[in-house]
């Protein structure tokens, strides 16, 4: 296909154009091409990459821990004659759809590479470009412009929303937050890579001055004059004669879809402009952004509130109906666990706002005192419960759980049932939930001694649920806000075993909120099946949270999502894991206890369930009855593992020896005693 000279190129383009029509890709030899949509395009694809029926080049397909590449099939001549580099220019339109609003897996890149064989490259933060051993190695002969949606401190990323120019590795030679300079005012406008909207990018390289410019803008915005990035990179030794051009993308633990909608390229001249109006459109496949739902729900909720107040006044006039309960014959056997609504109503001053302890994902919790035994302080949780289906089984479960007794569990005293509503009665915990003590600036900072006792208490409660009672009870929702503190600041696990109830409840989305993301074990998304190991995973996140005083996944002021486990891992790799301890303790903590808690937290956060310690081992490590094995050096190379995901990735991880997260890791962990 090589052309003898440049003059024939326009003719050939015209011919192709006439033959194939404007939507078909047009490619004039190896010097210039243009795809407005990729239907019928001849590309070298690998991994997750496919061309969708409507012509999108889809580089990643909502599978975790995989790579996807797409390259123009012919290598291009980047050097003419001896040393002189040729100039090139490319324009493309990309779009990223992540699992959550403003949160996606790692990102994608435009690539100029000596080879199309990326089998040795890693997914996740490596963007499918390099492996951990050859990152930055000059023998990679790789130039890339990355669109990186996650902050990785190991590559000195500036933010979780940046564009970078990469040479042979992931430490960008130049980077900036995604955005553009407004043509009229010259003001910088931020863009979000993960807002699910298409964006256009131009990359221009001048072979004489070695200057590379990267410019981007939302699809509707014309090309800005001032580039986002402009730097000089001597590519003459990086690009070795010929090279392939294309795209790379990778997923981590989270869902994501990376798309290219259109792409043009030209040697020795400006890339042909893309026809924006003929590009295929991006799908809208993931759930609507949560804030939109809230916007709709809030007005409805306030309207409902007004309505509820009016209804309440009406109901007040009919006391009889007010205390109406649902009671069926089969419940008589549960007599002692059944509370009357009237008693609960009076105990809580009619569920008055003054008695409101908090609003959880599934209902409001009120403080009450039972008249019969003046001292008995209770907490009453009101759960909306529409379905009658499964009610009998559920009540049986409540009663079963009511029989659990342990000093580190919040005692469930009983229940009451009304139409569409269920009330659960618990022991009252005067010191409230742990998360308030961790994050509320007005509260006294919990000392290390208190924290360590809380962690050991929760471990002991979890052990009772998993091993020491007659039946295995899975908690399913271990997190700081479910740990309550009694009058003596003893930790007590609340809300256990009832997750299934909530499946029938009103707010099934709660578990998908970013805040609880870090607690959900990777395999949960895959199998949906809770296990002791998934509780241990959540407990690992909990331990780190208590020791560091930071949420498992936080969003910083610049909108970056920081994953606590990754950060603790960084400290551990740097040789001082206790640097992660909550700074508010002012260094006042017991070094070996803190080190134990943090390393055990990492161990419990292992992506593979089989590699996590058992519940009993966790308790033994914490009690000092068992020596914690050193973390295996294989921990070096994984990242992002605390993030919740919707799909398992064990088989994929296993196929990448570099990440070394294999089932054998557990035994390696016990064998290895070197390292830190």
Ligand X SMILES: *[C@@H]1O[C@H](CO)[C@@H](O)[C@H](O)[C@H]1NC(C)=O
Inter-residue contact 188 to 204 (CB < 8 Å)? no
Burial class (CB in 10 A: 0-12, 13-18, 19+), 389: exposed
Question: Among residue numbers 256 through 275, which ones bind ligand X (CB under 6 A)?
Answer: 275
SS (H, E, C) 250-275: ECCCCCEEEEEEEEEEEECCCCCCCC
Give the CB-side neighbour count of residue 43, counting CA atoms within 13 A: 31
In the block, tokens 């009690």 appear at: 623
Span from 134-142, 147-155, 568-576, 614-622 in contact with ligand X (CB under 6 A):
134-142
Quote the least distance from Cβ 201 to ligand X, whole Å.
13
Nearer to ligand X, 210 or 626 (CB): 210
- In the complex, minimum distance from the CB of residue 236 to ligand X, in angstroms, rounded to a whole number: 4
Decide if 264 contacts 34 (C-beta within 8 A): yes
**b/e burial code for range 482-517 (CB count within 10 A of at least 16 → b):** bbbbbeebbbbbbbbbbbebbebbeeeeebeebebb
Nearer to ligand X, 79 or 453 (CB): 79
627 appears as a binding residue in the annotation: no
- Cα atoms in the 13 Å half-sphere on the side-chain side of 607: 32
Give catalytic residues, as residue numbers.
477
- The contact mask relative to ligand X for 2-41 (x = CB under 6 A, - = no) is --------------------x-------------------
**Residue 675 · residue 633 · CB < 8 Å:** yes
Q: How far is C-alpha 551 from the chain's CA centre?
A: 13
Rounded CA separation 352/346 (Å): 10
Give the DSSP letter of residue 313.
Answer: H
The interface region with ligand X, picked from 77-85, 144-152, 280-288, 291-299 by CB under 6 A, is 77-85
562 contributes a contact to ligand X by CB under 6 A: no
Q: Could you say whether residue 242 binds ligand X (CB under 6 A)?
A: no
Cβ–Cβ under 8 Å, residues 106 and 251 = yes
Rounded to a whole number of angstroms, the minimum distance from the CB of residue 661 to ligand X is 19
Residue number, 53 or 587, with CB nearest to ligand X:
53
Q: Which of 95, 142, 96 is nearest to 118 (CA)?
A: 142
Residue 64 and residue 255 in contact, taking contact as beta carbons nearer than 8 Å: yes
Indicate the residue whose CB is closest to ligand X.
278
Taking a C-beta distance cutoff of 8 angstroms, is the pair 567, 580 a contact? yes
- Residue 139 as a binder of ligand X (CB under 6 A): the answer is yes
Q: Does 61 bind ligand X (CB under 6 A)?
A: yes
Residue 58 found at the interface with ligand X (CB under 6 A) = no
Nearer Cβ to ligand X, position 271 or 365? Answer: 271
Instruction: Tell me if 81 contacts ligand X by CB under 6 A.
Output: yes
| Residue 552 to residue 535: CA distance in whole angstroms | 15
Show the tokens assigned to 448. Answer: 């290390």
The nearest distance, CB 568 to ligand X, in angstroms, is: 24
- Which lies closer to ligand X via its Cβ, residue 208 or residue 319? 208
**Which 390-409 residues touch ligand X, going by CB under 6 A?**
none
Stretch that binds ligand X, among 203-211, 250-258, 414-422, 577-585 (CB under 6 A): 203-211
Q: What's the rounded Cα separation, in Å, for the pair 154 and 570?
A: 8
Q: Which of 434/553 has CB closer to ligand X? A: 553
> Which residue among 20, 42, 188, 472 contacts ligand X (CB under 6 A)?
188
C-beta closer to ligand X: residue 291 or 667: 291
Region near ligand X per CB under 6 A, out of 79-87, 165-173, 305-313, 465-473: 79-87
CB of 226 to ligand X, least distance (A): 6
Site for ligand X in 292-321 (CB under 6 A): none
Q: Is 62 in the site for ligand X (CB under 6 A)?
A: yes
Query: Which stretch, 75-83, 168-176, 361-369, 475-483, contacts ligand X (CB under 6 A)?
Result: 75-83
- Name which position in 146, 204, 535, 646 contacts ligand X (CB under 6 A): 204
- Which residue in 401, 395, 388 sits closest to 338, CA to CA? 395
Minimum distance from residue 61 beta carbon to ligand X (Å): 4
Least distance between ligand X and beta carbon 239 (Å): 11
SS3 of the chain: helix, strand, coil, percent, to 5: 30, 25, 45
Q: Minimum CB separation from ligand X for residue 8, in Å?
A: 15
Per CB under 6 A, does 676 bind ligand X? no
Q: Which of 3, 132, 171, 206 touches ligand X (CB under 6 A)?
A: 206
- Residue 394 CB partners (closer than 8 Å, separation 6+): 500, 501, 504
Residue 48 binding ligand X, by CB under 6 A: yes
CB environment 146-181: b (16+ within 10 A), e (fewer): bbbbbbbebbebbbbbbbbbbbbbbebbbbbbbbbb
Q: Which is nearer to ligand X, 119 or 655 (CB)?
A: 119
Enumerate the β-bridge partners of residue 427.
378
Q: Please pick, from the candidates 55, 124, 198, 227, the single residue that binds ligand X as defined by CB under 6 A.
A: 227
Nearer to ligand X, 226 or 327 (CB): 226
Instruction: Compare residues 226 and 627 and give the one whose CB is closer to ligand X.
Output: 226
In the three-class reduction of DSSP (H, G, I as helix; E, B as strand; rest coil), residue 154 is classed as helix
| Using rule CB under 6 A, residue 104 touches ligand X | no
Q: How far is the CB of 663 from ligand X (least distance, A)?
A: 21
Four-residue CA torsion sign, 517, 519, 522, 528: negative
Binding mask 161-180 for ligand X (x = CB under 6 A): ----------------x---
Q: In whole angstroms, what is the distance from residue 154 CA to residue 171 CA?
A: 9
Is residue 83 near ligand X by the rule CB under 6 A? yes
Stretch that binds ligand X, among 231-239, 258-266, 389-397, 485-493 (CB under 6 A): 231-239
Q: Shortest distance, CB of residue 43 to ligand X, whole angstroms?
A: 15
Residue 276 structure tokens: 């924006």
Among residues 121, 120, 126, 108, the alpha carbon closest in space to that of 49 is found at 108
**Two structure tokens written together for 117:** 């064989």
Q: Using CB under 6 A, which of 119, 242, 387, 670 touches ligand X?
A: 119
Binding-site members are 382
Binding-site members for ATP are 382
Contacts with ligand X by CB under 6 A lie at 22, 47-48, 61-63, 66, 80-81, 83-84, 117, 119-120, 134, 137, 139, 159, 177, 188, 190, 204-206, 210-211, 213, 226-227, 230, 234, 236-237, 275, 277-278, 558-559
């Amino acid at each position: 296909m090589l052309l003898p000279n440049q003059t024939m190129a326009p003719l050939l383009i015209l011919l192709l154009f006439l033959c194939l029509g404007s939507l078909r890709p047009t490619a004039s030899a190896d010097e210039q091409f243009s795809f407005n949509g990729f239907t019928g395009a001849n590309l070298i694809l690998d991994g997750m990459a496919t061309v969708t029926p409507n012509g999108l080049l889809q580089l990643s397909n909502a599978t975790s821990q995989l790579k996807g590449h797409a390259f123009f099939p012919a290598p291009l001549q980047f050097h003419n004659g001896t040393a002189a580099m040729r100039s090139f220019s490319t324009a493309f339109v990309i779009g990223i759809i992540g699992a959550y609003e403003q949160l996606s897996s790692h990102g994608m890149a435009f690539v100029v590479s000596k080879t199309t064989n990326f089998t040795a490259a890693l997914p996740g933060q490596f963007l499918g470009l390099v492996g951990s051993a050859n990152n930055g190695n000059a023998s990679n002969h790789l130039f890339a412009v990355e669109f990186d949606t996650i902050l990785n401190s190991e590559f000195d990323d500036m933010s979780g929303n940046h564009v970078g120019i990469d040479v042979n590795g992931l430490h960008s030679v130049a980077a900036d937050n995604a955005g553009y300079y407004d043509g009229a005012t010259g003001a910088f406008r931020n863009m979000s890579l993960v807002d699910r909207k298409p964006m256009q990018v131009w990359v221009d390289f001048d072979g004489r001055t070695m200057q590379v410019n990267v410019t981007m803008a939302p699809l509707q915005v014309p090309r800005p004059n001032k580039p986002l990035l402009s730097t000089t990179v001597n590519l003459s030794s990086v690009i070795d004669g010929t090279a392939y051009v294309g795209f790379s993308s990778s997923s981590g633990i989270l869902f994501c879809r990376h798309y290219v909608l259109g792409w043009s390229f030209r040697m020795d001249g400006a890339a042909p402009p893309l026809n924006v109006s003929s590009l295929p459109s991006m799908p809208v496949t993931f759930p609507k952004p949560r804030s939109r739902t809230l916007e709709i729900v809030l007005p409805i909720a306030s309207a409902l509130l007004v309505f509820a107040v009016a209804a309440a006044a009406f109901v007040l006039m009919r006391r009889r109906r007010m205390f109406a309960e649902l009671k069926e014959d089969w419940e008589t056997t549960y007599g002692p666990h059944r509370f009357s609504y009237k008693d609960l109503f009076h105990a809580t001053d009619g569920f008055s706002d003054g008695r409101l302890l908090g609003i959880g994902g599934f209902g409001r919790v009120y403080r009450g005192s039972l008249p019969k035994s003046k001292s008995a302080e209770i907490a009453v949780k009101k759960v909306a419960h529409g379905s009658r289906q499964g009610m009998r089984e559920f009540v049986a479960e409540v009663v079963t759980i009511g029989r659990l007794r342990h000093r580190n569990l919040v005692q469930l005293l009983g229940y009451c049932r009304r139409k569409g509503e269920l009330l659960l009665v618990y022991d009252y915990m005067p010191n409230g939930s742990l998360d308030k003590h961790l994050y509320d600036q007005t509260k006294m900072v919990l000392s290390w001694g208190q924290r360590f006792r809380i962690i050991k208490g929760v471990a002991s409660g979890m052990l009772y649920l998993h091993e020491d009672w007659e039946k295995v009870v899975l908690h399913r929702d271990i997190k700081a806000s479910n740990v309550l503190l009694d009058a003596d600041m003893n930790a007590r696990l609340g809300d256990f075993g009832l997750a299934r109830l909530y499946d029938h409840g009103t707010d099934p989305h709660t578990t998908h909120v970013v805040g609880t993301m870090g607690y959900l074990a990777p395999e949960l998304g895959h199998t949906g099946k809770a296990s002791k190991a998934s509780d241990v995973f959540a407990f690992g996140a909990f331990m780190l949270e208590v020791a560091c005083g930071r949420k498992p996944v936080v969003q910083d002021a610049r909108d970056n999502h920081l994953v606590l486990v990754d950060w603790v891992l960084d400290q551990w790799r740097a040789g001082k894991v206790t640097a992660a301890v909550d700074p508010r303790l002012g260094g006042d903590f017991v070094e070996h206890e803190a080190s134990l808690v943090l390393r055990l937290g990492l161990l419990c956060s292992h992506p593979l369930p089989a590699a996590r310690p058992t519940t009993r081992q966790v308790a033994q490590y914490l009690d000092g009855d068992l020596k914690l094995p050193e973390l295996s050096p294989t921990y070096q190379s994984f990242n992002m593992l605390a993030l919740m995901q919707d799909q398992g990735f064990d088989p994929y991880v296993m196929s990448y020896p570099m990440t070394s997260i294999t089932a054998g890791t557990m035994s390696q962990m016990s064998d290895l005693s070197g390292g830190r």
